[in-house]
Chain A
Amino acid sequence: MNRSKHVLLPSHGTVGAQAAESVAIELCAEDAKIHHLVVVPDLWKGMMGDDWLNNGVTRDRYARYLETELGREVEEHCERVRSKAKEKGVHYSCEIVLGKPDECLIEACMETDYDLVVMGSPRPKGTPGLRSRMATKSLTQALSSPLLTVPYPDG
């Protein structure tokens, strides 16, 4: 089972994506490479909303704060996967992109050939979290690499 030499782990920080991390590393062969594609969903571009009352200083402060927060979350996320990969002796590389999760994943797969793409499951209804889907119909139709979807963690 552990034959994958080059695995793509796409993630945008959801609980489902976190569940896929361990499975992806588990499926890597010894000395394999895992490429961690972290997508910052472009929904954040609209998070200034239709604010018009604030002045430039307040808006800049907010934008910098939000960027720092997202950066910190991504950094923590990458660090977690990096240390898991290191434990298993898997070569880890990371790429951070901004865009639509499914489109970014398709683009990444078009650029490089992967033995396997491992991703998490969509969040079950009623579970709190960001509404940003990576597993879309267009994704499954467009991917050229084999895709493994890891079940959403219980509880």
Chain B
Amino acid sequence: MIYTKKSPALFIIGIIMLAIWFTADSGMLASYIEHLGGKKYKYLGELTSIPLYFGILSVAVGLWQWFGKHTEGHWDYYSSTVAGAMFILLIAMLVRWFVAPEVAVISTGMGKVGNTGSYIHKLLGLNYVVIGIVAGIVIVNVFKVPEWAQNGVRVSRLGLKTGVILLGTLYSAAELKNLGGLSIVMIGFFVLGSVGLVLWIGARMKIPNSMGGVLSAGMGVCGVSATVAAAPVVQAKSVEIAYTIGTILLWGVGCMFVFPIIGNLLGMSHVQFGAWAGTGILNSAQVAGAALAFQPDGIETLKVAEIFNITRVLVLPIIVLWLAVWYVKREEHATQVNVGKVIFEKFPVFVLGFILMFALSTTGMFAPANHYKGKFFGNTAESGFKESKLLKSDQIAILQQEMGKVQRADRKEAVQRLIDNGKVMSISDDDAIRGLVNAKVVSKEANGILKAAHKAVRHTAKKIKAFRKWITWLFAFGLVGLGMQITFSSMRQAGGQPAVIGGIVGFLKAILSLIVVMMLVAETI
């Protein structure tokens, strides 16, 4: 079978991308960009680069697909995915650069909502991630994914997995240790709790063991992914699979919209929201969606949520094994389980990539070894300090005048060293000066000088900055593509006893994990 379609679609996608680049680069879009926020519009840099590269690629591959000769083989299959992948990317571009900013403009124009102090789009988390997923859902359900794009839509999973692997570069060892510990406790408690609860309620309601097994995996571990992993092991009937997946998708999509709203209303921190979404949302795809919906312009929440997702997927083989043993004990005709095979087959290989990137990051390959979240201290020319940033004599005079107001010895000494050398001399001095700025002890003018001195010695690692950008795009790409795999017909299957049990367990999990997070999880890690 030849998979590559002889279609002009990819070529047209390339032309659209190039048109976006040309109109942005030539200034033809200037008035529209002014309308979308002018100087506040953050995507001009992306608009004048990304569509050019991918546009050229799409036009070149598109011409070959359209007019070239295709033969069966691996190359044909890989080539057939390009059109769908570029289709998803184009949707993600349009949503991120135009649709989401337009929604923000309209929402801002409508004013703040009641006494919440927020605009509708902020309150509802209507940013490029959520709108992108909705766009995917609309495309598959209303227009259908075109045949030439179907193979490529599956590539979205690869985007998400690559995003998670690259995320490994952004954690410090302390962060990973603290988040890992927190996620093991939270996931351990809530996964085991909800698997056990589903099995218990299922036994009370006398549902078949196969249904209890598949539903408990889906409700307890990571939603659809767990259902896919557990269904063959507990020999679930087709209708039981349909009920379970329908229930989980319905819950997951609902939670993706509701969780960010609640998070915003409760003023949750990135860590708290990431931990809550990572525990309370049933389906792993919507965990990432909710995290990016809560914090679209940063990835701190995503970093927390993905650690929870990774913990879930690492727990998955164990739960599948448990359910397999549980099922075999209860069903006469059940097939015996090969423990080693289950663990080996279900092991998520991409997690090894994440660990590898984290390990490489700790060697200082992507940023100096002392970096924290990609930022590092450096007060020498080799480490990025610019001589032009040395304090000027008038600035030194202002600081000397203000010295009397500084009470704490460590801050006083740090400022003195700053005055003597014209630049911040150590990380501890930098911390003390930042503390002084936040305490607002000195005048506004002196505070400005201290802030500038702090900025002069804090640098962002270029590679980490690039990784952040790539991660944002990979997740946006992946989530639009996953949106194209959520069909209304599968969600409509939510019903029967699984919907009742799923509703109870899903609701309890969301509420209890929220309470635990608000009571026990600190605002920062």
Contacts and interface: CB of A to CB of B under 8 A. Distances in A.
B232 interface: yes
Contacts, number: 111
B485 A49 contact: yes
A54 B218 CA distance: 13
A137 interface: no
Interface stretch (B33-41, B90-98, B223-231, B431-439): B223-231
Contacts of A88: none
Interface stretch (B47-55, B62-70, B383-391, B487-495): B487-495
B485 A50 contact: yes
A28 to B, nearest CB: 30
Q: Which interface class (under 10, 10 to 19, 20 to 34, 35 or more) fits B?
A: 35 or more
A62 B232 contact: yes
B291 interface: no
A46 B144 CA distance: 12
Contacts of A47: 241-242, 245, 490
A131 B492 CA distance: 7
Chief secondary structure at chain B's binding surface: helix
B284 A53 contact: yes
Contacts of B489: 41-43, 46, 131-132
Interface string A15-41: 000000000000000000000000001
A51 B245 CA distance: 10
A141 interface: no
Given A43-B489, A128-B496, A53 B348 contact: yes
Interface residues of A, number: 30
Which of A45, A47, A73 counts the most B-chain CB atoms under 10 A from its CB?
A: A47
Contacts of B497: 128
B129 to A, nearest CB: 14
Contact of B160 (A43, A52, A69, A130): A52
Interface string B472-486: 000000100011011
Nearest to B252: A50
A58 B346 contact: yes
A128 B500 CA distance: 12
Contacts of A130: 239, 242, 493
B490 A43 contact: yes
B285 interface: yes
Contacts of B482: 50, 52
Contacts of B283: 49-50
A57 interface: yes
A19 B435 CA distance: 78
A62 B285 CA distance: 18
Contacts of B286: 50
Contacts of A65: 231-232
A45 B483 CA distance: 14
A104 to B, nearest CB: 14
Nearest to A53: B225
A112 interface: no
Contacts of A98: none
Nearest to B133: A50
Nearest to B497: A128
Q: Which 4 A-B pairs have the closest CB atoms?
A: A46-B487, A49-B224, A46-B490, A43-B489
Interface of B: 156-157, 160-161, 222-225, 227-229, 231-232, 237-239, 241-242, 245, 248-249, 252, 283-286, 309, 312-313, 316, 345-349, 478, 482-483, 485-487, 489-490, 492-493, 495-497
Given A46-B490, A49-B490, 6 more contacts: A48-B224, A49-B486, A51-B157, A51-B227, A52-B285, A66-B238
